[in-house]
Structure 1
Amino acid sequence: MDVHPHLERAVGRAWLDDRPREALTRLTELPDRMGGSPGERRAAEIVREEFEAAGLEDVELETFPMQYWERGRTEFAVVDPVERSFEAIALPYSPPGDLEGPLVDVGYGTPAEIEAASEQRGLDGAIAVSSTTTPPDRRFVHRMEKFGLAAAAGAKAFVFANHVPGQLPPTGALTFDREAAIPGVGVSAETGDWLTDYADRGGRARLRVEATTEEGSSQNVTGTLGPESDEGVVLLAHYDAHDVAEGALDNGCGIATVVGAGRFLAAVEDDLERRVRVAGVGCEEIGLLGAEALAKSLDLESVRAVVNVDGAGRFRNLRAFSHASESLADLAERVTDAVGHPVSHERDPHPFSDHWPFLRAGVPALQLHSEPPQGAERGRGWGHTAADTRDKADSRILREHAILTALLVRELACGDGAIPRLEEADLREALEEQAYEPGMRAADIWPTEWA
């Protein structure tokens, strides 16, 4: 990566730039940013204002339809061997329900554990209790996969028990853009400990969920930088968040990082040889809906690569998911080496963030994430809980990751090296090697065109 005096000046300005932190503050001050809600609409307007202030051109809001889910009251109680109520929150797209059934502990909710629980205890008509995490020696199993497998095994309800202590019931969508087949709720780690005990003792529980799903709309915010070109780069982050918290880490830090990167790229816009489209997308948390709408609106054959900032800006150590693209892995290493910033790599693809609608179509995708402190447990940590608050964000990390994101996008927009597209057969093979197919089918997100 060539370093010119004007690029050095841009780095210096970005190092002192408080605008990413200010953008994060404006977003986390909102009552909530749940997909399809009035709060998410106000967040989109804030992102538009931040993009315009950053110097992006042609900034606009683009509306798309979606299924708007709204939570009501949730009641959860063990009824045998004791009568005892516990705090629980409904998971997005949970249907309403009023039911009772035996508690069955399915451990970490891996396919093997759910199969074993089904054979040994029987899940038909049961309330399945699963941990939010997965042991480090196994492939990480997403919540939607655990839920889909439990429902397919006959469970009548799903309980997602946090592995992070602190009386923090977690949330997270059960399905993409539609009402789920059975109710699902989140409970704290402390409650989960009691529930597994009661399950071992043959306990039963009762669950009542009030929730609605109806036609709604959300919006993406887009802007551009650089010259008209036949080939371009997409930089995006989602700005929505779950309604149980401020959504600072997930993904306030990500969209704030993109605001900072946009300001940096605007300062070196004359360097860019390809058009850069910058987007803040809605409804990631309930199904990647904004990214799907954005992908449909673009000529994907003209997109050289997509850079998805989901997870960056939280912790100092940057992690790059190159999603089976060796060219992007090499580019990320080259750029970060040039500025002396460590980066860890994950080359295997996954479908659980906003790069997926692009990657599925063969567009090379780089997801920028960050590593929690060494020794931290696997999983979301404070994400998707009431503890996801602004005090946990660090302005220095936001600045650093904004600079690194901008340098990576600049390299993609200026570099001559080829970035080969990912063939469908290769992507499918990579997902199958990680044993994703059964879980993606259970979650109903395996691409229909792959049959």
Structure 2
Amino acid sequence: MSFSHRLVLSIALSVLSFSSLSQQSAAQQAPFTQEQKETATQLMETALKSELGFDIVESLTTEIGPRLAGSEAEKRALEWGVELGKELGFDKVSIEEFTMPFWDRGHLHLLMNTPYKQELHATALGGAATSEKEIEASVVYFRDIHALAAAKDGSLKGKVAFVDGDKMVKSQTGAGYGQANQRRRIGYHHAERAGAEALIVRSVGSSSHRFAHTGMMSKNGDNWATIPVVAISNPDADQFRRLHNLGESLSVSLSSESKWKGDVSSGNVILDLIGSEKPEEIVLIGAHIDSWDNGTGAVDDGAGIGITVAAATLISRLPKRPKRTIRVVMFGAEEVGLLGGFAYAEKHADNLHNHVVATESDFGAQTIWQLVSNVNEEATVLIDEIAKILSPIGIVRGGSDVPGGGPDIIPMQQKGVPTIRLNQNGRDYFDLHHTPDDTLDKINPDELAQNVAAYAATIYLIADSDVNMKQ
């Protein structure tokens, strides 16, 4: 080959190489076609005008009501979910059952006897035990969980412990919940060790209204509580603190019927939109269908059910299915330990490698303000582009190394499934969740529609992409 021919070939190869690099750079800058971006925008516009998400929450909370995990009401909710999926035209609808222990709240009565008589607004905490007879005892005050943890073994025999703390400060992210929640989760570990007859804790929440905030406790090793454990409202806890600071002696009468009632069946409802080109690859979105029984579970987590089901339904109405399968999971028994999430991860263990990404809506119904992710470098570019498309509805790009995806997604994330999360404004969330105030009237339909818009656009774009997201 002559020098001139080699030079021409070298120039040609350089041009091809430069062209290839330019194409790669362009792909990195614009991972979606103009048609895909226009479809995503159209989905958002449709969702913002749609009432479907709110209608779904209204149906669930009105027709089914409270849905305590493992209860007859949760069973009816699962059946409701199946019928809804069929009515909305999902390609495949099923229930994946699992067995769980059932805890029932029963009747509770709490009365302050001294320094004067006053009914206290209280609720049993999940996993608490019954009182064999009415407990009448003096109250020992502890300023926080650390003070109770320092109590000596047997020092509370014949007494009732009260763990104070501080009312949660409202914040967009719900910061402070984890720390405040320690008194609810593990307070009884220390109260039992110290010999207390029962434990009372300040409600974990930001509300100043006179109702108590429930929630599940954590096992102590392999065991649940053997004593009654109850939360009282923030105003009642404030009253306890003031009386203690005045040097008054406190005593209460307490009776509780909370108990475990054996194993029952729960389940996860699965709604699939089968992908047009890569049906084996799954983009999973979810919410939990159970709720605590003192409200109607509108904010926690009927809203998530409405958001995810409505978003997938709007995608199903496009002229063509996205390439990948979109799966909506209505997780059962989340409130009592993410049981539905663990059951799903176990059942699908051999197929989690085909789960492209997973996320859950479980932080209320206020507007989404941030998109975070935990995916590989190439997929991070894709998520960055999605954030740009979402920006007109008030959403900004957050961290690219934020694992989790939502409570029920954690068991999958721990097994390597990539995650994203559309973070909602949670400023008022802890005023409502796990309380009697968690009702439909707290949901703003326009804010809920913004959530549906964000989910519809995001999930469509990921499902119609070829990008691998695994780290």
Note the C-alpha offset of 1:280.
Answer: 0.8
**Once the 2 structures are TM-superposed, how far is the Cα of residue 229 of structure 1 from its aligned partner?**
3.8
Q: Deviations over 1:188-232 (max 9, x none)?
A: 111111122344435343432111212111121102113354432
State the partner residue of 2:230: 185
1:407/1:322 CA distance change after superposition, 3 Å: same
**Partner SS, residue 106 of structure 2:** strand
CA distance in structure 1 between the partners assigned to 2:376 and 2:225 by the alignment: 34
Partner Cα separation in structure 2 for residue 397 and residue 140 of structure 1: 23
State how 1:1-400 maps to structure 2 within 5 Å.
1-4=32-35, 5-29=38-62, 30-97=64-131, 98-99=134-135, 100=137, 102-107=139-144, 109=145, 115=149, 118=151, 126-131=160-165, 133-134=167-168, 140-141=177-178, 145-155=182-192, 156=196, 157-161=199-203, 162-175=205-218, 179-200=224-245, 201=247, 203-214=250-261, 215-227=263-275, 228-268=278-318, 270-298=320-348, 299-311=351-363, 314-320=365-371, 322=373, 331-340=382-391, 341-343=394-396, 345=398, 348-349=402-403, 353-372=407-426, 380-400=430-450
Deviation at 1:285, TM superposition (A): 1.1
Ranges in structure 2 where 5+ consecutive residues have no aligned partner: 1-31
Aligned residues between the structures: 411
Over 3 Å counting, the alpha-carbon distance change for 1:327 and 1:191 in structure 2 is farther
Tell me: CA distance 1:335–1:167, structure 2 relative to 1, closer, same or farther (3 Å). Answer: same
Instruction: Quote the residue 1:435 is aligned against.
Output: none
1:354-396: CA deviations, max 9, x gaps?
A: 11111222222233341145xx6xx612111111111111222
Instruction: Kindly provide the amino acid, as one letter, of the partner of residue 362 in structure 1.
Output: G
Q: Report deviation, 1:318.
A: 2.9
1:334 deviates by 3.0
Instruction: Classify the secondary structure of the residue corresponding to 1:35.
Output: coil
Match of 1:413 among 444, 463, 467: 463
Quick check: 1:169–1:186 contact (8 Å CA) kept in 2? Answer: yes
Note the C-alpha offset of 1:129.
Answer: 2.0
Compute the displacement of 1:79 (Å): 3.9
Report SS of the residue matched to 1:48.
helix
State the 1:271 CA deviation.
Answer: 4.9
Whether the 8 Å CA contact 2:362–2:406 is kept in 1: the answer is no
**Percent of pairs identical after alignment?**
22
C-alpha contact (below 8 Å) 2:61/2:440 kept by paired residues: yes
Structure 1 CA distance, aligned partners of 2:210 and 2:176?
A: 27
Distance in 2 separating the partners of 1:94 and 1:253: 28
Go from structure 1 to structure 2 and tell me whether the alpha carbon gap of 1:151 and 1:350 turns closer, same or farther (over 3 Å shift). Answer: farther
Corresponding residue for residue 438 of structure 1: none
How many angstroms does 1:154 deviate by?
A: 3.5
Q: Relative to structure 2, which stretch is displaced further, 340-349 or 72-81?
A: 340-349
1:10-60 superposed Cα distances (whole Å, 9 cap, x missing partner): 444333322211111111113321111222122222222222233311101
Instruction: Return the alpha-carbon distance in structure 1 between the equivalents of residues 230 and 397 of structure 2.
Output: 34
- The 3 A distance-change label for structure 1 pair 351 and 21 is closer
Higher mean C-alpha deviation, range 332-341 or range 401-410? 332-341
CA distance in 2, matches of 1:195, 1:323: 44
In the aligned structure 2, how far is the partner of 1:189 from the partner of 1:62?
39
Contact 2:300 2:363 in 1 (8 A): yes
Q: Which of 442, 451, 466 lines up with 1:401 in the alignment?
A: 451
Report the CA distance shift for 1:355/1:38 in structure 2 as closer, same or farther (over 3 A).
same
Change (3 A) 1:142 1:233: farther
- Measured in 2, the distance between the counterparts of 1:329 and 1:165 equals 41
SS in 2 for 1:243: coil
The one-character-per-residue Cα deviations of 1:105-134 (angstroms, maximum 9, x if unpaired) are 344x4xx5655x648xx7786513244755
Contact 1:231 1:275 survives alignment (8 Å): yes
Aligned-residue offset at 1:306: 0.8
Residue 72 of structure 1 aligns to a residue whose secondary structure is: coil
TM-score, normalised by the number of residues in structure 1: 0.80
Given that residues 85 and 271 in structure 2 are in contact (C-alpha distance below 8 angstroms), is that contact kept between their aligned partners in structure 1? yes
Distance (whole Å) between structure 1 residues aligned to residue 381 and residue 240 of structure 2: 47
- CA, structure 1 residues 87+357, in 2 after alignment: closer, same or farther (shift >3 Å)? same
- Residue identity matched to 1:304: V
Determine helix, strand or coil for the equivalent of 1:307. Answer: strand
CA distance in 2, matches of 1:410, 1:91: 40
Q: 2:360·2:406 contact (CA, 8 Å) conserved in 1?
A: no
Equivalent AA in structure 2 for residue 203 of structure 1: L
Conserved? CA contact 1:264–1:403, under 8 Å? no
Q: What is the distance in 2 between the residues matched to 1:352 and 1:178?
A: 27
TM-superposed deviation, 1:3:
4.5
2:98, 2:166 → 1: CA distance?
A: 31
In the aligned structure 2, how far is the partner of 1:420 from the partner of 1:14? 29
Verify the 8 A CA contact 1:226 1:269 in the aligned structure 2.
Answer: no
Task: Point out the more displaced range, 136-145 or 363-372.
Answer: 136-145
Aligned to 1:436: none
Indicate the larger mover: 336-345 or 88-97: 336-345
Mapped contact 2:207–2:431 kept (Cα < 8 A): yes
Superimposed CA distance per residue, residues 67-125 of structure 1 (whole angstroms, 9 cap, x where no aligned partner): 11111111223344444431211122211125435332344x4xx5655x648xx7786
Asked if structure 1 preserves the Cα contact closer than 8 Å seen for 2:41 and 2:389, the reply is no
Cα deviation for residue 288 of structure 1 reads 1.0
Instruction: Give the deviation of 1:418 after TM superposition.
Output: 3.7
For the residue of structure 2 that corresponds to 1:250, the secondary structure is helix
Give the counterpart letter for 1:172 in structure 2: G
Query: How far, CA to CA, are the matches of 2:347 and 2:105 in structure 1?
Result: 31
Evaluate the alpha carbon distance shift between residue 149 and residue 220 of structure 1 in structure 2; reply closer, same or farther with a 3 A threshold: closer
* Alpha-carbon distance in structure 1 between the residues aligned to 2:33 and 2:209: 48
